[in-house]
């Protein structure tokens, strides 16, 4: 190891971890300590105000300004007692991160002094500069006004000395500029559509909630090593680096003993997460070295999305206290597993029924089958859109790389559920009603369905796992809202269409349960192409998927086109989630973001190649040349030639590889200049994908080969064998 790297590593290891003091109480006693939840609302708000706020949270009832003023007063009182001095509107702009501007609880008191103040007006809305966030042309510098507006359904919380108020973010002209606004609209749409269908089975259902349980995968690296890798620092991934001799091939990391330093980090992270009301439950080693996973208990979808954004910020903060940097990039290291964020999604009613779980009676199981088939139909109709919702420049490195689902959306159901659907499809006997027994479907196994007995398929992007679907294709760095918006909106459309068709049959005189079965049977046949229980990694599946008419596109900029198909636009507008203008603006942002990320990576790679790799390789080559000359001066020509033969091979190989790198870096720079002149954001993104990305891979190949040749003492960048194993 070079002196430079030794010095950096020594600094990282000698840094004393900063531990969060472990509370003496049980987790249940300090859970949500820093959250203005229902218990705090009850204590700090007048009774009538509390009732109105709860009605707004649970039923969507509107809040007037007077109520907002009293909520703000109670919220401020609690926050100040907890040590807060500032407040902020906390929102999710189209950057994949969060945004916040802190203001103090102070105003002039009119007597030359200051007083703490926080009004309903300040709680309900603020005016961030909308032109400074990605907006796809909706806002310009000369028309910059935007609004952040309070979301009462997600409770306020305190981080350090700041009261954070979850909000939506919209333009002055009303278009959404964030992830939360369309997510709330999608959740409202699926609530209405699912409630209407549920009433076929239980007229008492008044509300359906979408639930989400995310599984956050991540890597940890020593902070000193991270600082010595400009590519990690600037792009979140290693743009070069030969595989370590040992990585994950022995399969000894998955569920292995958690390293002591990592366990200390996890403990502190969990304490702080629980204080913020994030119900973290599971932690373990993942498959790759230095890769780990954190997962909570499921929650209502909107809150779960907020909590995931908050946990990622907490991870970054607490990791540094332990001498680590957390890597949330989907593929920070080539040759080992990347990181995903599996979205476990389901629906549940206000009567306590989980709609994706089988029941005990035939009628309950018909309801279960109804929602399963409608979900499959939604995924089938919009498989390209769902792929677009999880696609990004970073997730493209992970999908289909033999550790993640392929870039083709399909759904795994398992043997038992597949057999049930097949039986329903082929059966001519619609059964009959029999009192409280519900509907007998001539499928004896339905009342005793044990769906948990099904196998699991890690290659499926959208797998049924017993009482939920697991959307496995979501990337570790992504905002869960993107996938949840597309999925819930698509299902809302499908359920509305399903109800329309069932009602039409009933209007023609068909009995209700028979009409439901008729539409289900038709839809099972229609959505067959999306159902696949086999190996998603195989080449045969790629060919089969294309025959089935599924979206098999792999170019991320082109995949984004799925947002702007007429079917997608019609679906989003019909469900009230987004307008054509909003979708067009978001795609501009997506293409622009893709271009910028690849552009930054290309610049960093070029800089490292020209200022680190080639100089070090040339320096080592010079030493070899010097050695050859000395051998020739010491030994007879024939013997000197034999002794220096290996060095001559290395000299020639270094010369060829450095020449290739220099030539292709120049070509890459020229290619970027050509692409940058394109005015159309889509065309620019496609140019970066088609031209720049392949060049980067070629340059990397030769750099990685040089890493194996050049003297380790001279190679200034920490290698995989150092980055991937926490000591």
The rounded distance, in Å, linking the Cα atoms of 41 and 57 is 12
Place of tokens 């500029």: 177
Higher pLDDT, 167 or 246: 167
Strands 411-412 and 299-300: unpaired
Bridge partner list, 285: 292
Q: How far apart are CA 157 and CA 164, in angstroms?
A: 5
Q: Which residue has the higher pLDDT, 688 or 28?
A: 688
Q: What is the mean pLDDT of residues 618-626?
A: 95
238-249, pLDDT tens digit by residue? 999 999 988 888
Note the pLDDT tens digit of each residue in 678-712. Answer: 999 999 999 999 999 999 999 999 999 999 999 99
Q: How far is CA 580 from the centre of its chain?
A: 24
pLDDT for 419 beyond 90: no
Instruction: Please tell me the least confidently modeled range out of 174-178, 182-186, 452-456, 639-643.
Output: 452-456
What pLDDT was estimated at residue 621?
95
pLDDT at 172 over 50: yes
Choice among 118-132, 487-501, 585-599, 686-700 with the minimum mean pLDDT: 118-132
CA nearest neighbour of 381 among 269, 280, 515, 495: 495
Strand-pair partners of 283: 294
Confidence of residue 456 (pLDDT cuts 50, 70, 90): low
Q: Name which of 153-167, 495-509, 535-549, 671-685 the model is least confident about.
A: 535-549
Backbone angles phi, psi at 534, to 5 degrees: -90, -160
Does residue 75 contact residue 81 with C-beta atoms inside 8 Å? no
User: What's residue 402's pLDDT?
Assistant: 59
Which of these, 680, 703, 718, lies nearest to 226 by C-alpha position? 718
- Of 4-13, 60-69, 223-232, 272-281, minimum mean pLDDT range: 4-13
pTM of the model as a whole: 0.92
E strands present in 242-279: none
Of 342-351, 354-363, 524-533, the range with the lowest mean pLDDT is 354-363
Residue 419 in tokens: 């057999």
Task: Give the pLDDT of residue 18.
Answer: 58
Cβ contact 405:472 at 8 Å: yes
pLDDT band at 401 (very low <50, low <70, confident <90, very high): low
d(CA 637, CA 639): 6
User: Is pLDDT of 596 > 80?
Assistant: yes
pLDDT at 112: 81
Confidence of residue 326 (pLDDT cuts 50, 70, 90): very high
Q: State residue 66's pLDDT score.
A: 84
Say yes or no to pLDDT of 400 above 80.
Answer: no
The residue-averaged pLDDT of 289-301 equals 95
| Element housing 79 (H / E) | helix 65-81
Question: Which region among 339-353, 375-389, 414-428 has the lowest average model confidence (pLDDT)?
Answer: 414-428
Per-residue confidence band for 4, with pLDDT thresholds at 50, 70 and 90: very low
pLDDT on residue 15: 52
Q: Are strands 125-126 and 146-150 parallel, antiparallel or unpaired?
A: antiparallel
Note whether 332 and 325 are within 8 A (CB). Answer: no
- Helix, coil or strand: residue 160: coil
Residue scoring higher pLDDT (358 or 585): 585
pLDDT given at position 340: 93
Q: How many CB atoms lie within 10 A of CB 467?
A: 16
Residue with tokens 């709330």: 184
Backbone phi, psi, residue 160, to 5° = 60, -115
SS (H, E, C) 467-523: CCEEECCCECCCCHHHHHHHHHHHHHHHHHHHHHHHHHHHHCCCCHHHHHHHHHHHH
Please tell me the distance from the alpha carbon of residue 319 to that of residue 314, in angstroms, as a whole number. 8
> CB-hemisphere CA count at 13 Å for 456?
11
pLDDT above 90: residue 272 = yes
Backbone angles phi, psi at 148, to 5 degrees: -105, 135
Confidence of residue 457 (pLDDT cuts 50, 70, 90): low
Choose among 495, 571, 481: nearest CA to 208.
Answer: 495
Length of the chain: 727
């Amino acid at each position: 190891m070079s002196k430079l790297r030794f010095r950096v590593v020594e600094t990282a290891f000698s840094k004393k971890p900063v531990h969060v003091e472990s509370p003496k109480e049980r987790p249940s006693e300090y859970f949500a300590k820093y959250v203005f939840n229902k218990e705090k609302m009850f204590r700090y708000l007048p009774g009538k105000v509390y009732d109105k706020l709860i009605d707004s949270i649970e039923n969507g009832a509107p809040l007037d300004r007077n109520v907002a003023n009293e909520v703000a007063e109670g919220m401020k009182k609690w926050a100040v007692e907890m040590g807060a001095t500032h407040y902020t509107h906390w929102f999710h702009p189209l950057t994949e991160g969060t945004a916040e501007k802190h203001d103090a609880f102070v105003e002039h008191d009119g007597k030359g002094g200051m007083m703490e103040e926080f009004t309903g007006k300040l709680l309900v809305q603020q005016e961030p500069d909308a032109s400074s966030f990605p907006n796809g042309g909706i806002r310009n510098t000369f028309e910059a006004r935007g609004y952040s507006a309070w979301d009462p359904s997600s409770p306020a919380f305190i981080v350090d000395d700041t009261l954070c108020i979850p909000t939506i973010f919209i333009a002055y002209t009303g278009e959404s500029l964030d992830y939360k606004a369309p997510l709330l609209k999608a959740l409202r749409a699926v609530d209405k559509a699912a409630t209407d269908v549920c009433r076929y089975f239980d007229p008492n259902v008044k509300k359906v909630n979408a639930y989400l349980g995310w599984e956050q995968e991540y890597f940890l690296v020593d902070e000193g090593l991270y600082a010595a890798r400009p590519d990690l620092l600037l792009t979140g991934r290693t743009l070069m680096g030969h595989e370590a001799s040992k990585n994950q091939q022995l399969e000894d990391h998955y569920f292995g003993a958690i390293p002591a330093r990592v366990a200390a980090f996890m403990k502190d992270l969990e304490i702080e997460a629980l204080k913020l009301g994030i119900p973290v439950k599971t932690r373990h080693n993942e498959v790759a070295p230095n890769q780990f996973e954190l997962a909570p208990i499921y929650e209502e979808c909107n809150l779960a999305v907020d909590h995931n954004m908050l946990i990622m910020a907490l991870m970054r903060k607490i990791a540094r206290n332990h001498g680590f940097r957390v890597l949330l990039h989907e593929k920070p290291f080539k040759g080992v597993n990347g990181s995903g964020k599996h979205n476990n999604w389901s629906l549940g009613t206000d009567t306590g029924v989980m709609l994706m779980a089988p029941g005990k009676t035939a009628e309950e199981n018909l309801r279960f089958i109804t929602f399963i088939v409608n979900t499959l139909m939604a995924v089938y109709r919009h498989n390209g859109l769902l792929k677009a919702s999880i696609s990004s420049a970073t997730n493209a490195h992970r999908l289909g790389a033999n550790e993640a689902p392929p870039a083709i959306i399909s759904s795994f159901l398992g043997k038992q559920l597949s057999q049930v659907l097949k039986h329903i499809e082929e059966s001519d006997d619609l059964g009959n009603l029999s009192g409280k027994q519900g509907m007998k479907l001539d499928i004896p196994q339905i009342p005793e369905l044990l769906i948990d007995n099904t196998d699991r398929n890690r290659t499926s992007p959208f797998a049924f796992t017993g009482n939920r679907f697991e959307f496995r294709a979501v990337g570790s760095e992504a905002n869960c809202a993107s996938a949840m918006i597309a999925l819930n909106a698509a299902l809302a459309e499908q359920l509305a269409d399903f109800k329309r068709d069932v009602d039409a049959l009933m209007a023609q005189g068909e009995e209700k349960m028979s009409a439901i079965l008729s539409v289900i049977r038709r839809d099972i046949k229609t959505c067959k192409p999306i159902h696949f229980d086999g190996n998603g990694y195989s080449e045969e599946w790629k060919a089969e998927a294309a025959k089935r008419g599924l979206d098999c596109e792999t170019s991320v900029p082109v995949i984004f086109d799925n947002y702007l198909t007429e079917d997608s636009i019609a679906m989003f507008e019909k469900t009230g989630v987004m307008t054509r203008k909003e979708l067009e603006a978001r795609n501009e942002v997506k293409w622009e973001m893709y271009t910028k990320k690849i552009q930054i990576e290309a610049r960093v790679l070029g800089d490292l190649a020209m200022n680190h790799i080639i100089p070090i390789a040339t320096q080592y080559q010079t030493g070899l040349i010097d050695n050859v000359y000395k051998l020739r001066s010491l030994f007879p020509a024939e013997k000197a030639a034999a002794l220096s033969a290996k060095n001559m091979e290395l000299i020639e190989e270094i010369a060829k590889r450095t020449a290739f790198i220099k030539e292709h870096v120049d070509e890459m720079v020229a290619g970027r200049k050509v692409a940058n002149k394109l005015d159309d954001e889509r065309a620019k993104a496609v140019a970066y994908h088609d031209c720049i990305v392949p060049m980067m891979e070629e340059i990397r190949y030769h750099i990685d080969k040089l890493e194996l040749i050049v003297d380790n003492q001279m190679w200034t960048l920490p290698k995989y064998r150092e980055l991937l194993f926490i000591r």
